Each structure stands twice: as structure tokens, then as C-alpha cells.
Amino acid sequence: MEKITRSKIYDMPYWKEKCFGVSAETLVDLATDLRAFGGIHGGVNRACDFLCLTLKMLQIQPEREIVVEFIRNEDYKYVRCLGAFYLRLTGKPLEVYEYLEPLLNDYRKIRYATPQGKFQVRHVDEFVHDLLSKDFVCDIALPRIPHRMVLENAGQLEPRRSALEDENADPLDEGDNEVAGDGNDPPGEGGDGETRKKELLRVKEFFGLEGMCVVETDDLRDGMDRECRWRRPAS
């Protein structure tokens, strides 16, 4: 932390009144009272309480288990943010990715104290994304860490699987897996013909194509084109 930032923190009443004689255990009580996060804000360049507690953690250097408990705390979102910020400043790259990436699924709202002295609504996952991708957060220069892809190529990290992959899974693909034959069906009894008929029925139900027929298509996916491949039978 830069000297000028530390000087501004030392001048804060919050630091003088609350942060003397604080241990790792009593720091939790102060962290649960936080109502915003940020760096230097306002026209008089005041240091946020969040920044004061960050400096106190850098001074007392709590054990890693305590920091991890901060991060895993689901009841107090600012306690979680404080632990994540401290780990980003002091942790090894593998620890940073291991403990911070799960927080990208935390979408709770938090208040950000802007340098102009106002407050903005942010989210926990936005704050964590900034920690993983930016060089400055809350007016503090972050240590450089390797890009995730570098660690993946070195075999030190497993490829990250986004939660959106499961949410955006194609229901038709799941249906194909359910109705597809296992290759051991005898001809005429659930073989290719029966399987294809079931697949076409699922496509009709999914797109609302009941009463329409498919025009020469050799592939199920070609049959999904409603404009070119489906038509109503002539009356």
C-alpha cells in the first residue's frame, strides 16, 4: 500500500477510534459493521472504513484459515469482500484463483463509495472480477498474477467451467441422448426408424410445428429450419 494512502488512513477518526488494539478475532466484529466498500472518496479524500480494515489486516497478518473463513462467510457480504481483497493482495496466484473464482457466482448487491463522494450499486461478482482482471482496485495497486490460461497450459489449474454452460444447455441435445438408440436395437423394434420418428416428434413439440411435415431431410438438425424444411401438407 502506498505511503500517501496509509497517511490518509492514519488521519481518519475511524482508524484512531476503532483500529487500535484490534486482533484477528475482533476484526471480524468490525468487518460485519461495514456498509460499503471503496478506496479514497469524497472531496476531502477520506479513506473508506473498508480501506482502514484492509490496512489493519496487512499489519496483523491473520492466519490463512481465518482469511478463508472470511471468504466463505455467506452471511456478511462485506466480510467476504474484505477477505477476498486481502487474499488478492497477499495470496499466491493459485490460491487467488481457487478461492476467488467461486465468488463469481455471488450476485448480491453492495455499495461502492466513489471518489466523488457518492455511492453506487455494485455486485459481489463485479468486485471479484475486478480483483482478477484489473491492476488497481479501491485505489490500491494489486500484485501481478499470471493469466489463468497460462496456469491452465502449465497444468496447474483445471479449465474453469462456467455456471452458464449448464443453464444454456440445449434441451434438444438432452432429448437426443434420451431417445437415441444404443446400437443394439433389432431392426424395426426401436432401431433407426423408430428413433428418428421420436426425434422428429420432439422437434415438432419443441417448435410448435404440430400438423406440419418435414420436406426431404437426411439430418435431424436440418429439419429444425422452420422456414426451409417444414411445410403444411396440401389440403
How far is C-alpha 187 from the geometric centre of its chain's CA atoms?
49
Beta-bridge mates of residue 231: 213
pLDDT for 3: 85
pLDDT for 233: 52
Whole-angstrom Cα Rg for the chain: 28
Domains of the chain by residue range: 3-161, 169-231
pLDDT for 44: 75
**pLDDT single digits (tens) 95-128:** 999 999 999 999 999 999 998 888 999 999 999 9
| Angstrom distance (rounded) from CA 191 to CA 193 | 6
pLDDT for 218: 45
Cell numbers standing for residue 197: 420418428
pLDDT for 168: 57
Burial class from Cβ neighbours inside 10 Å (0-12, 13-18, 19+) for residue 14 reads: middle
pLDDT for 41: 86
pLDDT for 152: 84
pLDDT for 143: 94
Cell numbers standing for residue 179: 431417445
Single-letter amino acid, residue 28: V
pLDDT for 158: 84
∠ CA 65-68-70, nearest 5°, is 115
pTM of the model: 0.68
Low-confidence ranges of the chain (pLDDT < 70): 43, 162-235
Beta-bridge mates of residue 119: 113
Single-letter amino acid, residue 155: G
Beta-bridge mates of residue 41: 46
